[in-house]
Structure 1
Amino acid sequence: MRLPSTPPELRVKSSIPHVEPDFKAARRTFETLDTLTHRRRQLTYQPGNGSERITAVEKWGADLYGDPCAGCGFNWSLTPEEAIRIVTGLPARYRELLDGYTGHERHPELAWNPAAYISHVVDNLRHWAEGLAGARLSEATDILGYDPDLLAQARHYNDIAPAAALWSLERAVSAWSASVTAALRHGVVLRHDARGPQRAQDVARNNAHDGYHHAWDIERILDFAGPAIFSPGAS
């Protein structure tokens, strides 16, 4: 049943101006789950004079994976120089892991094969090396995140030849090492859209963990596949 509206002559105009609720004038923080990437993102409501905004703060590093990492055992207290050594050792490490395998083996719990994980590491190193270089060379300190799963789909990671992925990795590692070393020397700090300030040493540790962790993922895949039986062209 629709109720009759109040006649105009009986309506009372309020002299009280409209005031937005201030939610006790406090920042409110809560978590949500990204349905595509399954990464937990922390949302912060920041009230203000007409400039209310919700910003996403993505968990990263030890806060996300644990210290040491609950999966791969990575120790987050290592120095930036140790992180660089881990990254520069990735091409040899991945080649060693793939010796005797095709690089296209699969694990039922993982969406990517070894070649795909290597390709992801390549793109991640390039992304951060470029960001650090932009900040150092032109003071462009803002850096945006990206969705690794969407990039994997666009680049068809699982179809990339392992030999090609390793070729790309060697070049990405070389550029990354030079960029991070220079960024550390100049004290570069990036402003990430979802993680906040990212110092050069934070980038070094994060990227080292990414490569180290995915070596563990590859190990899991190859353990599931069984003993090596081939001698791949990648090796």
Structure 2
Amino acid sequence: MKVARHPHTQQPVTIPDYRKEFGAPYEKGIKNERPAATCPACKQELFIKGETNPNATMAFCHFPAKGGEQKPFCPIKVGGSHKYKVLCPVDEDPKRTKQLRDNFFTNWKIHWVKFMHHVGYVDINDFIQALKVADKEHVWRYRQLQEHEVIIVLMLISDFKPVIGKTKVWRKNWIRFWFESQVKTFQEFWNLSDEKKTIIRAEYNVPTGLKRISPDHLCKYKDINVSEDYLLNRQPGDDVVHPVVANAMKRNFKV
């Protein structure tokens, strides 16, 4: 990782800034007792790989597990191999399922604007494809799922790869969204208390030619608070969308 959580402020810190504040690992041959930066997702302590080798590329890394030790799950550590799966609920309330989906599509414009705000550059087709997956996987059946949390599901099941136009770079880095806590499924996330419901927007600077993200590519992140404020405290313009966007949604969902 090129960035981690600051040991005191919990804000993003790069390796140069960390070393500037806390010094090198050794000073005049004596080990420097520095507070450890932590992983943005799992909060485990990290070390800086390659710090004592002038020819190596430095990176924040998780400590390896010691004999028999079971390390907590971390979505960043496992890189692109982890996908959040939607497990079809068995205790569906059909009336609630329909109401949730109807409410979401009634307010789809404000959800799209918020989705776009979180992702950055994003095409309406990304939103549409994620919604089609949500329909196919019966996301609406989850009893704990609230309307404002639907876009969280859409972001977590999507991969936002770099988008390079003929004359402009629209999305330079690969974007993925992760649960901040050590949970592997949506069900585990919805069982958390509201104050613990945080997700991470992670950016990966993936070298040209590679088709998979790795922890070493993580270059930027930010925490996203999962709240319904954007639905409760609407502002003028929050539901204004481009006609092209409106037409695409109408073609696909008759809204």
TM-score (norm 1): 0.28
Q: Which has the larger radius of gyration?
A: 1
Q: Judging by fraction of residues, say which structure has more strand.
A: 2
Higher relative contact order (CA 8 A, sep 6+): 1
TM-score by length of 2: 0.27
